[in-house]
Amino acid sequence: MTRPADPSAERRTMVPSKFIFGLSPVGSAALRAAPPSRRPPLAPGGSGLGVRAVVIGSVATASLAAGLAAAAGTALRHGRPAGRRRFAREVARTVARLGPTFIKAAQVLGTRRDVVPALLCDELSMLQDDVPPMDAAQSRAALREVYGDRLDTVFASVEETPVASGSIACVYRATLPDGATVAVKLRRPGIGPQMAADLGLLRRGASVVARLPMFRGVPVREVVDSLCESVLGQLDLGREGRDLDRLREDLGGVPRVRVPRVHAAASRPAAIVMDFIPDLAVDTGARCPRAMRRTFAASTLTVVYQMLFINGFVHCDLHPGNLYFTRSGQVVVLDAGFSVQLSDKMRGLFADFFLNMSIGRGDRCAAIVLESAIGVADDADVPAFTEGVKDLVARSYRLSAKEFSLIAFAGELFDLQRRYGVAASPELVFPLLSLLVVEGTVRSLDPDIDFQETAKPVLNRALFGIR
């Protein structure tokens, strides 16, 4: 399906890795786990915060109790695995009933397979924003709020019907005075204080949960703080615009890669204005000749490896709504809302991890995870963890390129961490996440591609300090 596309409109497409975030195209089918009428309102400010906390607690308690009962019934009829799957689904439905802030936070939490069971990650990652777009009157009011009396001088025209809509922003097609067609990603008025209030309640809840005996040794506060910062970061469209500019600069030397240009003079803290890229479709790659598909796959991996091993600034959300291919052979990278900056130390450690994984040195891989961990439980079994990682790397090293799966490798690695009490640093998890997100796309383009062999030229450049 071909649709008008822009640098910030994210299509929610089911991909094998199921790591999906951001905006949903207007009119697309959404995962409606609970009707809007049953969801609590967005978080109010001031004195209403206590009321919001009561509403959240009541909805969560009632929904989880019903979900637990349903899961127990499923387990009795179909076995414990089916019961666990049902409960994970009910948890996701509970999150959906709590509204957009919690959906956004759960989407990020769904990436943390190092601390959250895979079944629950799958369900959380499939949650979608179900927020109607702003109507024409709301759009006009929002634009006037951001641009004031300068609106008519900044833009020659702005279409009042958004091309995409999400809980944080809507996206509009517009024309600048010089005739350039641009995309305007416009933050919803008042969404910042609302989401900040909800996330504050989430942090307070994490502080309570962290004190429970069953969560002793689990970095609950650290994980919740990290996901809250990720969600709040998506509210700062000024930062996102700068991050998109950074990606454009970092990837400028990678052949056949395009990142849209940000129009800084027209942008504002609550609005990003960038090149509108027309005629993008999620199925372009599938419709291209086999040779071009193989080129797309290699170019996509090179983009990720360039970010991971050379520049250290990583786009963690390259799902098919942020990654497109053109008939002219270009790879188009959109939206920098979920990006992380790796420290030089962590970039080096991740490159070291990937290199040793590719040559079968599991002991060094285990040492890197332990060195970068944010916490090791008092009763952690470090020797058993090390042996588990050595066995995992040895088994993976012997697999052919077609048989090797990063998703399976990461899932087993994270399971070892949970089992033996090792809490990985988000700085190590997010780079791996960026690879997991693109694996499904890359495999669909070229099932025989060798992830580790493709990385070697970029790893060699990283080891020799060549940018």
For 155-164, b/e burial (b = at least 16 CB within 10 A) is beebeeebbb
In the structure encoding, which two tokens stand for residue 378, read together? 């008092």
Using DSSP's 3-state secondary structure scheme, residue 169 falls into strand
In the structure encoding, which two tokens stand for residue 464, read together? 């020799």
Q: Which of 93, 125, 95 is nearest to 109 (CA)?
A: 125
Q: Phi/psi at 171 (nearest 5 deg)?
A: -120, 135
148 contacts 140 by C-beta, under 8 angstroms: no
Q: How many CA atoms lie within 13 A of 213 on its CB side?
A: 0
One-letter amino acid at 90 equals E
Note every long-range contact of 174-181, with CB atoms under 8 Å and residues 24 or more positions apart, other chains counting.
174/273, 176/263, 176/266, 176/273, 177/153, 180/263, 180/275, 181/276, 181/278
Q: Which of 175, 173, 196, 187 is nearest to 142 (CA)?
A: 187
What distance in Å separates the CA atoms of residue 94 and residue 202, rounded to the nearest whole number?
14
What distance in Å separates the CA atoms of residue 15 and residue 27, rounded to the nearest whole number?
20
Cα–Cα separations (whole angstroms), residue 93 to 3, 55, 319:
30, 16, 23
Residue with tokens 């939490």: 109
Contacts of 58 (CB under 8 A, 6+ apart): none
Using DSSP's 3-state secondary structure scheme, residue 408 falls into helix
For 305-342, b/e burial (b = at least 16 CB within 10 A) is bbbbbbbbbbbbbbbbbbbbbbeeebbbbbbbbbbbeb
Q: DSSP E strands: which ranges in 218-373?
A: 257-258, 271-275, 313-315, 323-325, 331-333, 339-341
Residue 376: its H or E element? strand 375-376
- Which are the catalytic amino acids? 317
Q: DSSP E strands: which ranges in 141-268?
A: 157-158, 164-165, 169-175, 181-187, 257-258
What distance in Å separates the CA atoms of residue 432 and residue 369, rounded to the nearest whole number?
12
What distance in Å separates the CA atoms of residue 220 and residue 286, rounded to the nearest whole number?
41
